[in-house]
Each structure stands twice: as C-alpha cells, then as structure tokens.
Amino acid sequence: MKVKTILKRTVTILLSVFIGTSCIATAVFALGNIDTSRKTSLTVYFGENGTGFPNVDFRFYRVANMSDTGSFTLWGDFHAYPVSLENLDSSGWRALAQTLYAYVKRDNLQPLRTGKTNSDGLISFSELTVGLYLVTGDMYTKEGTTYTPEPMLVSLPGLTAGDEWDYDVEVSCKYDSGTIPALVERKVQKVWKDDGNEDKRPEAISVQLLENGSVVATVTLSEENNWEYTWNNLNGSSTWQIAEAETPEGYTVTVAQEGITFIMTNTFPPETPPKLPQTGMLWWPVPLLVCGGLLLVVIGLFVGRKQVDKNEK
C-alpha cells in the first residue's frame, strides 16, 4: 500500500511540473516574434486631468531598427552617437531620450514626421515602420502655467500588460509644469562608471551648453573643478540642454536632468553577457523532455513496485 501511495503522489507531482512547464512554454510561444514587415501606429496624448492641450507641435524621429526578437540597432543619423541601447531600466530610457534630444537640437536633425495635437490633445502617426522612435513636443502655456513635455522613446510595436505585441500604441506624454522665472541656473556634474578602467579616462572633457539648440558656451570639466560647473543668470524662457563635445573613446554617454542639474554619465561598457535563448527558438523541446522524464520515472516506479510485490510473496 505504501508503494502505491508513493507512486500516486510522485505521478501527481510530476504531472504538476509538466503542466507548469507547458504553461511557461505556451506563454513564450504566445508572445512570438515580431512581424517586422507590419506597419504600426502611435497616438500621443498631451494634457492634464483629462483636458487635452490643443495645437501643440510634436516631432517624431526614427532612432533604431528593431529585429523580430525585439533587439535594437541605431539607425540613420543616430548611428553616429555614442549611446547604448542595452540593459536599460525606465530611468535609463528616460535619460537616453534626453541625451538624444540634445543631439537632435544641436545637430538640427530633421524629423520623420511632424504635426499638431487636436482639440483633445491627441496626435497620431500611422503607417510607421517597426522600430524605436523619439517623440518631442513644444511647451504649452495655460493660465500662467507652462507645461513642458519630456522627450520620450517609444518602441513600435510595444508590449501590452498581457505580454502581447501591440502594433497600435497609445501613450501619454509626461511633462514638467510651473511658472517661468526671469532667470535660471543650470549645473552639470560628470559621473564616471568605469570601475577597473580608470586609466582610460581623459584628463578633461568639454561640455557644451545649448540654448534652444544652439551652442552658447563650452566649459572644461576635470578633477580640478571636481568634474562639475554651474551657469548662472540664464534666460528662464529658453530651453537649456547640454551635450558632450566629444565622448572619450570606448565610452558611452547619457545625460539626465534632475531639477537644475544635468547628470552626465560616461560608461565604459563591460563585455556583453551571453544572451538567453531568444523567444520561440529553444523552448519547444521542454514539454517533450519533461514527458520523457515523467515516463521514465513512472516506468521505474512501476518496475520497483512489482519487484517489491514479488519479494513480499
């Protein structure tokens, strides 16, 4: 009786493992590869508390190609910039959008599409090629308050909450809001992420200050000024950005604005870790292997049970 009970329990456990593994494989299959030949669309909402901001100019830039497995490769003019699209979290994507927007303004890159928001604060772009896109918009002023949209990077297609590819993406534009002061100050701080490779750092770097996209000042950062600098008495009505004049060889750069401070980070990329198997490529054998293992275990237990019964007789 004990052998029968053990056998039943073992089979139940193994069946549960099989079902769970099958569910994982099914979920991976459900996601599937991206149809890179399919056209996509993007709708952007810019507004507050359900009230859209009308007649706001938006621009749309194609930053990167997207493979059928979801990886990105810088495209066109953006291919020349020293940035990385690897291993980014939400704050990393936000910083990357700000970094690329500064390059766009400084180098006067031409957008792929332009348009204005409608009376509901919506703007839509259709018939778009699969890829990664940068979306930027102008400021909007209402009743003394100015709303400044943040640049954002959008993947087309995107992923839904149910982990399915969405070829018709809808997003809301984040923004900063407040009154515009007459004068402002801006600060830059250099951060190095190159542990073990400090010898590759240059002795100094040049940072450009941009006013509405034009370079109006260049400063040198080094250990002597603790890799930071502050500009005072700047026009509060202008848009201020910074860009690295020349990124050190082997490094990538991102610029994230936090209040009045621009955090400019140079990273010396470590070796790229081995990638996990891509979606839909190596998961198909899992249910078969589990079934085979389950069958062998059941046969072994069955033979063992017969041997025990024979000995008992």
Peptide bond into 287 cis (omega under 30): no
DSSP for 143-163, written as a single string? TTEEEEEPPEEEEESEE-TTS
Other CB atoms within 10 A of residue 59 CB = 19
Q: What percentage of residues in the chain have a pLDDT greater than 90?
A: 73
The residue out of 144, 162, 180 marking a domain boundary is 180
Are 166 and 194 members of one domain?
A: no
Give domain status of residue 279, yes or no: no
Residue 265 has what pLDDT?
Answer: 97
The residue out of 155, 180, 205 marking a domain boundary is 180
Are 93 and 21 members of one domain?
A: no
Sequence-ordered list of residues with C-beta below 8 angstroms from that of 239, at least 6 positions apart, any chain: 105, 139, 211, 212, 213
Give domain status of residue 234, yes or no: yes
Q: How many helices (H) and strands (E) does the chain have?
A: 3, 22
* Single-letter residue type at 289: L
Residue 18 has what pLDDT?
Answer: 44
What CATH number corresponds to the domain at position 94? 2.60.40.10
Give residue-wise pLDDT tens across range 28-38: 445 689 999 99
Q: Do 99 and 255 meet the contact criterion of CB atoms below 8 Å apart?
A: yes
Give domain status of residue 283, yes or no: no
Are 107 and 22 members of one domain?
A: no
Are 71 and 152 members of one domain?
A: yes
Give domain status of residue 212, yes or no: yes
Give the span between the Cα atoms of 250 and 26, in whole angstroms. Answer: 41
Are 58 and 108 members of one domain?
A: yes
Sequence-ordered list of residues with C-beta below 8 angstroms from that of 183, at least 6 positions apart, any chain: 232, 233, 234, 235, 236
Give domain status of residue 76, yes or no: yes
Residue 50 has what pLDDT?
Answer: 92
What domain range includes position 15? 2-32+293-312
Give domain status of residue 278, yes or no: no
Are 168 and 80 members of one domain?
A: yes
- Residue linked to tokens 């009743």: 143
Nearest Cα neighbor of 63 from 88, 97, 15, 13 is: 97
Are 106 and 52 members of one domain?
A: yes
Helix (H, G, I), strand (E, B) or coil at 277: coil
Are 126 and 252 members of one domain?
A: no
Give the span between the Cα atoms of 123 and 140, in whole angstroms. Answer: 15
Residue 210 has what pLDDT?
Answer: 98
Q: What is the pTM of this model?
A: 0.78
Give domain status of residue 286, yes or no: no
Helix (H, G, I), strand (E, B) or coil at 80: helix
Residue 312 has what pLDDT?
Answer: 52
Give domain status of residue 281, yes or no: no
Q: Do 62 and 129 meet the contact criterion of CB atoms below 8 Å apart?
A: yes
Low-confidence residues in the chain, pLDDT < 50: 1, 3, 6-7, 10-29, 273-288, 290, 308
Residue 14 has what pLDDT?
Answer: 44
Are 234 and 253 members of one domain?
A: yes
Nearest Cα neighbor of 297 from 13, 1, 22 is: 13
What is the domain count for the chain? 3
